[in-house]
């Protein structure tokens, strides 16, 4: 048998990138490559890049170095958002042979010819306006959950964000494709699917390469709820202005959708929201949270927030802090604003110093710990269903309830990838929650 080439992947950034890496990996497989871990010696290393934070730039160089250390003759390809935005910069990194932009990454095997090292990285990146076709993808990283991409690109023009530049216009997968992918995932005994995209609430736009809406996000949710074999569906992150009351109502009565919402806020100050060109004011956000609490009091609500945006004064920041403190939410993802080239915000006055950004970030992270603790405490004594994961961490197995409470119990391999009815008993010193099984058979 001929010697098959080995390929390894490294993904930086979001869940959407993970789902796309999986799809690219399956393409390699179809072309006769064997996938190995990134820690192993491979003939090709593919790095899926991210452009959201400054850190991602630095991380990329470290990952290339790691690949070169494993095999200095390996062919290194960079794909993804950063590759679309700064192709020349990535191509100049020592060791990089190929840089592919937003549309080319899905045809990577067409660009890899004889695998000989290049003196300078070869660049193939389209004008982002050409990124108007849709490539469906999903990732199966672990046995318990999969990320299913339903939408790509964004038509919003938030002043801090490079994603429209990196991923192009908003476009969606056809409903029948999404349902087909969901069926393929559930056939592999995966219990939970997380819906992912750049702006998933915009689903339905551009299924036909145009702006016509054939289906809405609500149609998608309703259709997925009927797919046999899926135990749980989770909506990853959805804009407050696109999360409609009908969707919230539907999730509250749904068979498979779990009571967990992740809704970006970015700022609790209307002045800053306007500077960011977000498409809502804080009052809309309050309405959404109140609606969720009204129909699903036990729901988990996560919030994205950015600190240190240009023009954010102490008063603006305190407005955000108090707004979040008073709201019945469950945890925060806190991002420290970092300047990105070719964004409007990069040229705005009122730059916030790095140490003030860091201080504000620390305050909100502290608030997040407090909020998560309060949410977990509110769930003690309740009966929930847990999906257990596959890792043995220091003698414990972990899992998440449908409303995203992290639980732990002594390791038992028979629990892996199973759903168990449990009662939440107490919060452990590491912050996760201990449990009692309601079904005695599940106990060791």
What is residue 17's predicted lDDT score, i.e. its pLDDT? 85
State yes or no: pLDDT of 211 exceeds 90.
no
Across residues 190-206, what is the average pLDDT?
Answer: 90
Residue with tokens 């871990």: 37
Q: How many CA atoms lie within 13 A of 68 on its CB side?
A: 13
- Cα angle value 182/237/209 (rounded, 5°): 65
Question: Residue 428 has what pLDDT?
Answer: 94
Question: What is the edge-to-edge ordering of all strands in the sheet holding 44-49?
Answer: 34-36, 6-11, 44-49, 75-80, 98-100, 122-124
Beta strands at 383-388 and 406-410: parallel, antiparallel or unpaired: unpaired
pLDDT score for 85: 87
Q: 21-25, 141-145, 286-290, 386-390: lowest mean pLDDT where?
A: 141-145
| Residue 51, pLDDT score | 78
- Strand arrangement, sheet containing 260-266: 260-266, 300-307, 331-336
pLDDT at 1 over 50: no
- Mean pLDDT computed over every residue of the chain: 89
Q: Helices (DSSP H) in 231-313: which residue ranges?
A: 245-253, 270-276, 282-295
- Which two three-digit tokens encode residue 106? 């899905």
Q: What is the pLDDT, as a whole number, of residue 37?
A: 94
pLDDT at residue 269, rounded to an integer: 98
State the residue for tokens 């006769």: 32
Q: Name the residue with tokens 């003759």.
A: 73
Q: Is the pLDDT of residue 84 over 70?
A: yes
Q: Which residues pair with 266 in a beta bridge?
A: 305
What separation in angstroms does the CA of 183 have from each of 37, 114, 359? 27, 37, 46
Residue 392, φ and ψ in degrees, nearest 5: -95, 105
pLDDT band at 438 (very low <50, low <70, confident <90, very high): very high
Confidence of residue 368 (pLDDT cuts 50, 70, 90): very high
The residue among 52 and 24 whose pLDDT is bigger is 24
Write down the pLDDT at residue 127: 62
Q: What is the pLDDT of residue 444?
A: 46
**Mean pLDDT, to the nearest integer, of 414-440?**
93
Tell me the per-residue pLDDT of 217-231, one tens digit each, with 9 for 90 and over: 999 999 999 998 899
d(CA 319, CA 317): 5
Please report which confidence band the pLDDT of residue 108 belongs to, taking 50, 70 and 90 as the band edges: confident
**In 10 A of CB 21, how many CB atoms?**
24
| The pLDDT value given to residue 207 | 59
State what percent of residues in the chain have pLDDT above 90.
66
Q: How far apart are CA 326 and CA 317, in angstroms?
A: 14
pLDDT tens string 110-154 = 777 656 666 666 777 666 566 556 666 777 666 688 989 999 889
Residue 264 Ramachandran class (φ > 0 left, ψ -120 to 50 alpha, else beta): beta
Domains and CATH numbers, the chain: 6-129 (3.40.50.12160), 132-258 (3.30.750.210), 263-378 (3.30.750.200), 382-437 (2.40.50)
The SS3 assignment for 420 reads strand
Percent share of the chain, pLDDT over 70: 91
Residues 302-333 have pLDDT tens digits of: 999 999 999 999 999 999 999 999 999 999 99
The residues near 69 (Cβ < 8 Å, ≥ 6 apart) are: none
């Amino acid at each position: 048998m001929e010697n098959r080439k080995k390929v390894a992947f490294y993904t930086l950034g979001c869940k959407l990138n993970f789902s796309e890496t999986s799809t690219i990996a399956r393409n390699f497989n179809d072309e006769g490559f064997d996938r190995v871990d990134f820690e192993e010696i491979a003939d090709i290393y593919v790095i899926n890049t991210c452009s959201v934070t400054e850190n991602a730039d630095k991380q990329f160089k470290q990952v290339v170095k790691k690949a070169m250390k494993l095999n200095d003759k390996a062919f290194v390809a960079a794909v993804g958002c950063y590759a679309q935005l700064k192709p020349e910069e990535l191509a100049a990194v020592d060791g990089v042979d190929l840089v592919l932009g937003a549309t080319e990454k899905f045809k990577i095997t067409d660009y890899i010819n004889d695998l000989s090292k290049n003196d300078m990285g070869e660049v193939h990146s389209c004008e982002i306006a050409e990124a108007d076709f849709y490539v469906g993808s999903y990732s199966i990283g672990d046995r318990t959950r999969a990320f299913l991409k339903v939408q790509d690109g964004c038509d919003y023009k938030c002043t801090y964000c490079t994603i429209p530049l990196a991923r192009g216009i908003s476009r969606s997968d056809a409903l029948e494709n999404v349902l087909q992918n969901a069926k393929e995932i559930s056939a592999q005994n995966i219990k939970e699917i997380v819906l992912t995209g750049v702006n998933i609430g915009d689903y339905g736009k551009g299924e036909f390469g145009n702006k016509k809406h054939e289906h809405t996000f609500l149609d998608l949710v309703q259709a997925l709820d009927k797919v046999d074999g899926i135990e749980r569906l989770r909506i990853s992150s959805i804009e407050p202005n696109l999360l409609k009351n009908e969707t919230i109502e539907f999730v509250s009565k749904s068979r498979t959708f779990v009571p967990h919402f992740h809704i970006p806020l970015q700022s609790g100050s209307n002045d800053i929201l306007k500077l960011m060109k977000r498409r809502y004011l804080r009052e809309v956000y309050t309405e959404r949270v109140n609606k969720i609490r009204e129909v699903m009091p036990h729901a988990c609500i996560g919030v994205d927030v950015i600190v240190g945006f240009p023009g954010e004064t102490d008063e603006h920041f305190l407005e955000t802090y108090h707004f979040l403190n008073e709201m019945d939410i469950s945890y925060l993802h806190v991002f420290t604003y970092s300047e990105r080239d070719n964004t409007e915000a990069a040229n705005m006055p009122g730059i916030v110093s790095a140490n003030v950004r860091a201080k504000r970030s620390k305050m909100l992270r502290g608030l997040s710990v407090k909020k998560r603790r309060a949410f977990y405490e509110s769930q003690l004594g309740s009966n929930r269903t847990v999906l257990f994961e596959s890792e043995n961490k220091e003698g414990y197995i972990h899992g998440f309830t449908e409303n995203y409470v992290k639980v732990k119990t002594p390791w038992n391999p028979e629990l892996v990838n199973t759903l168990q009815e449990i009662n939440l008993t107490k919060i452990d010193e590491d912050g996760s929650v201990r449990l009692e099984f309601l079904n005695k058979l599940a106990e060791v």
